[in-house]
Structure 1
Amino acid sequence: MKVLILGAGGIGCYYAARLMDAGHHVVLVARGAHLRAMQTQGLKVIHPQFEFAAPVSACDMPALMSDYRCADFDLIILAAKATVTASMMAELANWLAAASTPLLSLQNGVGNEPLIADVVGSGRTLGGLAVRIGGHIVAPGQVEATGVAQIEMGAWPDSRRNPDWQAHLLRWQAAFVAAAIPCTLSDDIQQALWRKLVINNGVNPLSALTWLTTRSMTQDPVLKEIVREMMAETVRAAQQLDVGLTAQDAADMFRLISEFDDIKTSMLVDREKGRPLEVDEICLPVIEHCRQAGQPAQTTERIHRLLLTSLVHGV
């Protein structure tokens, strides 16, 4: 396969390294010192079960649009922060319109796929999530990752309403698995995305507010109850959209994050590095849909407001 990865940060670079190690051609889109390091020194990825160090094809957005055609790629993976999805899609709209290459989102939140579909149509939009992976840039051109690093993906919003890509999904699934990337297909990727939001809303905002890792929060007798409450509110928000989640999903996600490697959440890492946070992208769908259901997500609203206030005042 020839794969384009938009937003080659920690997680995007890990998957890119796995694919390149398996013989696929990957182009990474990044910026700043990380991009310059990859262009001059190559990419280094360290994972407990895998190491990669090699030259890579890397460029910025203007170079992508001038040096490549959309039709050059079999698959485009969006691994960028959800905060830039709308602007990235707007910048690439004309370039994307010249071909029919599908786009797979591996991003946080539940709002990326609609933004992608607004530009390329639902027929080219694939929903996805990176499961049980922690990945961060530790130095320009260097990434450390942990976890099983599974991908779950499917036609968006589900296979019943968008069945055309099933054969392609099976082919890409086989390619990912052969590259040592566990991959499962979902008939209802919208439900899977909301299920992951249960974890993201449960731990990401609170970690950025408290500066604590996942295990520090889930083992604290007070903070773990806040995590549980925010997970329960996420389930309520999903139910308002008729997404089939239950209280058992919240319990399962709490157990998963409690038993997973102790990690800094992506939002905590972004705060440490002074980067924009995905706080609205993660919290607002929960807040808005719980309000619509007549049952406000009080804990999510409070943590959201406290985090935004602390960012404004530099606390």
Structure 2
Amino acid sequence: MRVAVIGAGALGCTFAALLDRAGHDVTLVARGAQLEAVSASGIHLNGGFGDWQTTKLVAVPRLETPPTPGGDFDLVFLAVKAQDTATAIAEHGGAIDGTPVIVVQNGLDGVDTVSKSLVDSSCVGALSIVAASYLEPGSVRVTTPATTYIGRGTGDPDAEVRRIEAELGDALRLTAIGNFVGAQWTKLLVNQLNALPAITGLSVQEVVADRTLRLIMTRSMRETVRVGAATGIRFGSIQGLGNLRLRFFARLPVVLGQALPARFASRMGPVPNPGSTLQSIRRGQRTEIDFLNGAVVRQARLVGRRAPVNETLTALVHEVEKTGVFFTPRQVADAVAGAEAGTSAGSSAGSLR
């Protein structure tokens, strides 16, 4: 299969390397130091999916528009951050419109946004639970190998989704699921793992090991479920989480609910996992926090609610983006307590009950 992967971050490179290992013809869109490194010696993938040095993969700065729509590729993976979608479509839309596109993206809006821009393409969503770190140009380490879920809409997987699963499932650990929209909300909860590492500079495991931060993370997760429920969402089933279990979690006292982030961290193993948002900050790139915790805030407003924990975490990530200075756990706790009390961030201290 001829496959293009747009987005040469940790996940895009992981997918590109796995597709190369499975024998597909892969073109990776990259830029800067990443383009130079991959063009010179390919991608070195190591960690959870094994060790692999790509052999046939080609890196390019831009996809050229073919003579006929969708003529150069059988499938495209769009693996850019949510905030970079418009730019990626503007640069490569002419080359891929008419080709089936798998949108590998966090947040709630990716598939709809791409579908509206690429009117001749069939778009499928992908939610990846793989934890990978972009160590240096041309090198990616997978700390948590996991399933990537594909689907679209709220119904059962359609024939095209099943076909993609059959063709690429073994290479990429793809699993077709129903109620993909609900699964996006479940993944939004999983992505609550990202904000606090970006705010504190700690790994996910270190954040969860800190009682103060673990309780804040639990509150942000519980708030996410409550907002989703208020919008009428039926949470999709991924990673052993589903609608009934998450609604039960949302009713638990915080001190009991902290078992959920602890479970996520334990699955990551001993290798420190910085999370994708902290990786972006370390590279001096804009983060996708507005499409993670920020998405919860926007959805809450649509149903006349507040999401003070997610609102505070979003603001603190933006502060770190701007200043490069991380916050201590106590500072984060004070900011969250102030927001929940209806005051300005950081102006009030309080216990996280």
- TM-score normalized by the length of structure 2: 0.79
Unmatched tracts of structure 1, length 5 or more: none
Residue 273 (1) aligns with residue 286 (2):
no
Report the counterpart of residue 130 of structure 1 in structure 2: 128
Contact 1:6 1:78 in 2 (8 A): yes
Report the counterpart of residue 236 of structure 1 in structure 2: 226
User: Shift of the alpha carbon at 1:296?
Assistant: 0.8
Report the counterpart of residue 148 of structure 2 in structure 1: 151
Residue 107 (1) aligns with residue 105 (2):
yes
Percent identity between the two aligned chains? 28
Contact 1:80 1:107 in 2 (8 A): yes
Closer, same or farther: CA 168–271 of 1 in aligned 2, 3 Å: same
User: Shift of the alpha carbon at 1:175?
Assistant: 2.6
Of 236-245 and 261-270, more deviation after overlay is shown by: 236-245
Q: Of 192, 197, 213, which residue of structure 1 is paired with 2:203? A: 213
User: Shift of the alpha carbon at 1:183?
Assistant: 2.0
Report the counterpart of residue 346 of structure 2 in structure 1: none
Q: Of 306, 318, 327, which residue of structure 2 is paired with 1:308? A: 318
Residue 120 (1) aligns with residue 115 (2):
no
User: Shift of the alpha carbon at 1:134?
Assistant: 1.6
Report the counterpart of residue 330 of structure 2 in structure 1: none
C-alpha distance in structure 2 between counterparts of 1:301 and 1:108, whole Å: 18
User: Shift of the alpha carbon at 1:67?
Assistant: 9.6
3-state SS in 2 of match to 1:72 = coil
Q: Of 171, 183, 191, which residue of structure 1 is paired with 2:174? A: 183
Q: Which AA in structure 2 matches 1:206?
A: L
C-alpha distance in structure 1 between counterparts of 2:230 and 2:90, whole Å: 30
Report the counterpart of residue 184 of structure 2 in structure 1: 193
C-alpha distance in structure 1 between counterparts of 2:9 and 2:161, whole Å: 24
Q: Which AA in structure 2 matches 1:116?
A: V
3-state SS in 2 of match to 1:65 = coil
C-alpha distance in structure 1 between counterparts of 2:67 and 2:194, whole Å: 37
C-alpha distance in structure 1 between counterparts of 2:278 and 2:207, whole Å: 13
Q: Of 266, 277, 289, which residue of structure 2 is paired with 1:259? A: 266
3-state SS in 2 of match to 1:222 = helix
Unmatched tracts of structure 2, length 5 or more: 236-242, 250-256, 326-353
C-alpha distance in structure 2 between counterparts of 1:177 and 1:113, whole Å: 20
Q: Which AA in structure 2 matches 1:77?
A: F
Q: Which AA in structure 2 matches 1:130?
A: S
C-alpha distance in structure 1 between counterparts of 2:19 and 2:234, whole Å: 33
Contact 1:240 1:292 in 2 (8 A): no
Contact 1:218 1:224 in 2 (8 A): yes
User: Shift of the alpha carbon at 1:242?
Assistant: 1.9
Q: Which AA in structure 2 matches 1:24?
A: H
Larger helix fraction of residues = 1
Contact 1:127 1:157 in 2 (8 A): no
Closer, same or farther: CA 183–20 of 1 in aligned 2, 3 Å: same
Q: In terms of Rg, which structure is larger?
A: 2
- Would you say how many aligned residue pairs link Structure 1 and Structure 2? 304
Contact 2:208 2:214 in 1 (8 A): yes
C-alpha distance in structure 1 between counterparts of 2:298 and 2:120, whole Å: 24
3-state SS in 1 of match to 2:113 = helix
CA deviations 1:185-243 (Å, max 9, x no partner) are 1111111111011021x221111111111111122111111111111121123223321
Q: Which AA in structure 2 matches 1:240?
A: A
- TM-score normalized by the length of structure 1: 0.88
Contact 1:213 1:265 in 2 (8 A): yes
C-alpha distance in structure 1 between counterparts of 2:115 and 2:15, whole Å: 23
Contact 1:44 1:141 in 2 (8 A): yes
Greater relative CO (CA pairs within 8 A, separation 6+): 1
3-state SS in 2 of match to 1:27 = strand
Report the counterpart of residue 141 of structure 1 in structure 2: 138
